[in-house]
Structures are given as structure tokens and as C-alpha cells.
Structure 1
Amino acid sequence: MKYLTDFEALNYHGYDWHSFAFEKEREYPQEVREWAGDYGIEKRGEREIASPIRAFLDHLFYTIRFMKLVPTYRIEDLLFSDEEEKEILQKVEELLEPVLNDEERELLHRWKRFNAGGNYEPVNRFLSQREAWRKKFRKNRSNDEDFRERLRKAFGL
């Protein structure tokens, strides 16, 4: 069964507007569906769709476990209600933290400090990874004007 989560599910529920949230066919490792059991999963026909809270928790889990990065979104960035924010923080403690190893827990703690209003603490990358990123972004900079034009067309600006 197809599982819709992360920003795709947030977009489905009306919490997000980012362009990559329209990638409804993105595949996630099965572990993203299974790490918190059936908590927050709605069945709609042939699909399973994460509730907004579960989708955000899946985002945290996926970013930490598979990308080995500190998540870059605060809860407030997605306009959750106060009750939803409290539930997310509660489920981070109850569900997410126990399934992470020590290294991943450190990334989660960095995100918690960031979410609470602290400075963003990115994970340290190896020199080779930094060089790869520099090359990737240098290539894309030549397309900045093209990208801006596509945004103008997409949003009618």
C-alpha cells in the first residue's frame, strides 16, 4: 500500500506549500512507515496517509535516520495549532527519541534546541562531502535566473 507522508502529506492536509511537496510519488524506506506503528495513519482507499502530526514526526525521523542531518524546520514554520505543537513535542519524547541511537539522538537534541529558538546547529560534514556540495551548488548557480523565471511563471508573478 502506498504511504504518503512528510511534506507531501502536510501539503495534502493543507499545512505546506513548498513545490517539492507536490511529489506525491516519492518513495520512503519502509522503516519510515513502521517506526511508530499505526500512530497517526489514516487509510483512504488504496493509500495510507500520515496525519499532519505523524507526517512531521516522519519528517524528523527520516531526516535524522536516513539523511543524518539536523532537521531544518521548526514546528512553528508549518502553522500547527498550539494543541498540535504540544502533541508533536510529546510524541517526540514518547515515540521518536526511544527508537534513535545515540548519534541520532544528538541530532534530535540539536533540533530541539533549534526548535526552542536557538541557533541552527548543522551536522559537521566530512571535507569530501563539503566539496561535493560546493560543486553541486556552483553548477546550480548558473541556473539561478532560469529558476527565478520558472518560479515567476508557476506563481503568476
Structure 2
Amino acid sequence: MKDLERYFTVIVLVIILALIFVPAVLAQENSPFGPTQLLEPFAPILAASTAIERFLQLVRNIISPDPEIGPLARGSKGLRYYTTIGGTLLGIGLVALSDLRLLQAVGVAFNGLADTFLTGVVVGMGTEVVHELIKVIGEGKDALRANARRDQAVG
């Protein structure tokens, strides 16, 4: 199971690194996204991720009402496996049944099945991953715009 956790961590890191390049496309002057529209595609992703987290918490409270004891006790391996595997499976299922595609939403042409899988993993990993992803893309966009303005002022 440790290898599975590492696998999911690598997938999330690859997604984040791959999405660092998205702001380069979106920061162009002829981009279909304005400054305030860049983060709009992430609203449904964040909502889905929050819904999955809340559902997993509800099921955990039913299985193990006392958070300190039981199979899903706080800090236990069982809880880590439950949230990682359960969240990922629910995320992939939710994304597969809906039209929620992260890369498609930001205008990146990508294989639909792979986009579904990657979006499902991001959604299933929780809101912290989604917030980090939004932060990386927002910072990248701001940095590219600042560089473009500085280059225009110098040139």
C-alpha cells in the first residue's frame, strides 16, 4: 500500500507540474480567458472535491463514531488508506459520470480518457490539492503577466 500512496503522490505532482505550463498559454494577449476568468474552471473542481471530502467524513463517522478509536482512528493507516483510495475512486467515478474535465475547461487539448482520470485523481485527493493547483496556476499567470509588462516597458 505504501507503493500505492507513492504512486498517487507522483500522479498529483505530475499533474501540478504539467499545469505549470498552462498559464503560459493563458497569459497570452489573445487568450480567451481574462484576468478574472482564469480561475473560473476550478470552481466545479473545488465543489466536487469538497463534496467527496464531506461524504468520506460522513461515512467515517458512521463506521467509527469516536475519532480516537476504531478501524478509522485519527492518525491510523486505515484512515489514510480509506481517504486516499476512497477519495480517488469516488473522484474518478464522479468525474466519469459528469462532464467535469479540468484540462478541457482551461483549454488544453488532451486525451479525454486521460483527462477524466487525471481530473478524478485531483478531485479525489481533496481540497488541499485543488487549492495548491489553483495557487500554482494563479502565481504562474501573474508572473508571466508581470514579465510581459516589464518587457514592454523596456522594449
Q: Do they fold alike, i.e. is TM over 0.5?
A: no
Larger gyration radius, structure 1 or structure 2: 2
TM-score by length of 2: 0.23
| Bigger relative CO (Cα 8 Å, ≥ 6 apart) | 2
Q: More helix per residue: 1 or 2?
A: 2
